Amino acid sequence: MNEPQVHVGILFEPQIAFELLAPYHINGQEVSGTQVVSYDNGSILWNGALYQELLFTPLTDATSSFELFDVTIGINFHWERKENQRFLGSLKFIVEHEKLTGINVIGVEDYLTSVISSEMSAKASLELLKAHAVISRSWLLDKLNITKQPDGKTEVRPSAPTFYVTDSEFIKWYECDAHIHFDVCADDHCQRYQGITRASTPLAAEATSSTRGEVIMSDGNVCDARFSKCCGGAFEEFASCWATVSHSYLQKKRDSQTNTELPDLRIESEADRWIRTSPEAFCNTTDKQVLAQVLNNYDQETTDFYRWKVTYEQAALSKLIFERSGIDYGQIIDLIPVERGVSGRLIKLKIVGSKRTMTIGKELEIRRTLSASHLYSSAFVIDKVDTVEGVPGQFILTGAGWGHGVGLCQIGAAVMGEQGYAYDEILLHYYIGATIDKLY
């Protein structure tokens, strides 16, 4: 097969300003310089004319680039901000939800060079960058339904529901299949992709080129290669975070080669003990040199991610949960763990209020409900203090890890790279029983 192209949704605004930094073609014209497109009653307004779609294609693919102004990064995270970003490839505009969507059309390999420089620092070790190139390629090609089928056909998986609700439960999970008119978005919802804004080093380019076309596979299919910042010492299973599907390569395991024993963290007492201590693991590190290789400058604003603590006053928590969920629980009487996954992450949490009681899940919905942005993870235990007439004055959450904990742990993988593990050893540590194959 040939290298595929990917359509990446970058920007979603009523008006988008951008600059073509080299000559581009559109509708038989050659254009360059600063441009503005605007939403106008179901169409795209550009240069005084209305269009249903616009596609700017570069004259020279290898060198032509464009810059989008005021791109939002870190959507709904504590470090959300806007910045100008530059991209290679083509620029497409479509109409969606009474706004314009700016889409970058680019080859998979150029996309990946940016992803591994956006998700981490391009200064990371070569073995870590190679590992990340393989999993980012695998995740993407899985989303594009690119598989190595014996009959040469493309496997198309039916879409599954992403939530269910009853009078007493609200269970929701978040997938990239919400994107209908492009393949993936450019933010943490899919994979961070910031074009050539974060200048990639020769090492990042080498990591992509030296693993060109390589993916991790299981049972003849490209793996759904999930990854997160810090697993907290134990890998979570796929079904704890998304649809109730079991992947043999995304299973329970401790993030260590020297200590492989892992308690059953689905049991509340075991989870409590695990989360309140600091067990040995690859990702249990405070080495600033390693962390600087993994985390970009805005991610380094987050500290104490292996084990962390958050305190909520009663009034603030009640207000926060109402604002985030739209449900008025009244005063928060209790937060009760209902179900945990194999890493200790909560799959279901019961919120007991003076007006309403509801069980919520899965892990990201819990994190979204209990934070103005995203709580670091759902692997936490709860302490109530200053209780008066059954109403706690404070809730203290003590937690573990950063992210969903499924698949590759970026900080753990960085430590492995520094300790001399090769990229294939890193991959096969995190994706259990998988193989590495070359698709193109």
Residue scoring higher pLDDT (340 or 290): 340
| pLDDT of residue 354 exceeding 70 | yes
pLDDT at 116: 82
| pLDDT of residue 18 exceeding 50 | yes
Contact 339, 361 (CB under 8 A): yes
Model confidence over 106-130: pLDDT tens digits? 999 999 988 887 766 656 889 999 9
Contact 340, 265 (CB under 8 A): yes
Handedness of CA 271, 273, 277, 280 (dihedral sign): negative
Residues 6+ away with beta carbon under 8 Å from 307: 232, 275, 278, 398, 399, 400
| pLDDT of residue 43 exceeding 80 | yes
Residue scoring higher pLDDT (300 or 146): 146
The DSSP code for 433 is T
Q: Cα(72)–Cα(53) distance, rounded to whole angstroms?
A: 22
* Other residues' Cβ atoms within 10 Å of the Cβ of residue 168: 10
CA torsion 187→161→365→392, rounded to 10°?
A: 170
What are the tokens at 60? 């020279």
Range 411-424 average pLDDT = 96
pLDDT at 303: 63
* Residue 326 identity: G
pLDDT at 190: 84
* Other residues' Cβ atoms within 10 Å of the Cβ of residue 439: 19
Residues 6+ away with beta carbon under 8 Å from 273: 263
pLDDT at 132: 92
- Buried residues in 296-321 as b, exposed as e (16+ CB within 10 A): beebeebeebbbbeeebebeebbebb
Q: How many CA within 13 A on the CB side of residue 276?
A: 10
Contact 34, 16 (CB under 8 A): no
pLDDT at 155: 40
| pLDDT of residue 341 exceeding 80 | yes
Q: Which of 264-273, 277-286, 287-296 has the lowest average pLDDT?
A: 287-296
pLDDT at 297: 57
* Other residues' Cβ atoms within 10 Å of the Cβ of residue 65: 17
* Residue 281 identity: A
Range 43-64 average pLDDT = 93
| pLDDT of residue 405 exceeding 50 | yes
Contact 139, 214 (CB under 8 A): no
Model confidence over 164-214: pLDDT tens digits? 899 999 999 987 656 789 999 988 778 888 888 766 778 888 999 999 999
Q: Classify 126 as helix, strand or coil.
A: helix
Range 336-355 average pLDDT = 98
pLDDT at 177: 57
Confidence category of residue 157, pLDDT binned at 50, 70, 90: very low
Confidence category of residue 276, pLDDT binned at 50, 70, 90: very high
Q: DSSP per residue over 28-70, as a string?
A: TEEEEEEEEEEEETTEEEETTEEES-EEEEESSTTT-EEEEEE
Q: Cα(335)–Cα(384) distance, rounded to whole angstroms?
A: 9
What are the tokens at 149? 């089928």
Residues 6+ away with beta carbon under 8 Å from 82: 70, 71, 72, 73
| pLDDT of residue 148 exceeding 50 | no
Burial class (CB in 10 A: 0-12, 13-18, 19+), 250: buried
Q: Cα(261)–Cα(27) distance, rounded to whole angstroms?
A: 62
pLDDT at 106: 95
pLDDT at 61: 74
Q: Which of 140-154, 277-291, 377-391 has the lowest average pLDDT?
A: 140-154
Contact 289, 415 (CB under 8 A): no
pLDDT at 69: 97
